[in-house]
Amino acid sequence: MIHPDDVLRALRARHKGRLAGVTANALTVEITGRANPAAVRALRSAIEDLRRAGEPVCGKPQTGYYYSDQPQDIEETINFLRQRAMTTLVQIKPLERRLASARRGQLALFT
């Protein structure tokens, strides 16, 4: 299990600023000493917890995760997360229409 405090400590100590970004896999190894898919998922969950608490954990695939209090970095991370959320919402809408049609009996859900 990866605790958010462990992630925050690692980011503040070794990954401050965009140029010090680290991948999820590398950060997982740094914190736990080994990499595995469950630990990476736990890391991402811890990062979500930190962001919900207002910690400026920034990053995207091109930069990796890093700690920053620079407004530009925080804004870029917000925009990245917003775009990711919008991509998910765009996928949901057609599925909702399909489900509504199936419930009305107009389409077989599995054809």
pLDDT (tens digit, 9 = 90+) per residue, 1-15? 899 999 999 999 999
Whether the pLDDT of residue 36 is over 60: the answer is yes
**What's the rounded Cα separation, in Å, for the pair 56 and 66?**
8
Q: What is the mean pLDDT of residues 58-83?
A: 96
- Domain chopping of the chain, boundaries: 4-103
Instruction: Please tell me the CATH code under which domain 4-103 is placed.
Output: 1.10.10
Cα dihedral 17, 59, 3, 37 in deg (nearest 10): -130
Percent pLDDT > 70 in the chain is 95
Whether the pLDDT of residue 107 is over 60: the answer is no
35 confidence band (pLDDT: 50, 70, 90):
confident
**What's the rounded Cα separation, in Å, for the pair 43 and 96?**
31
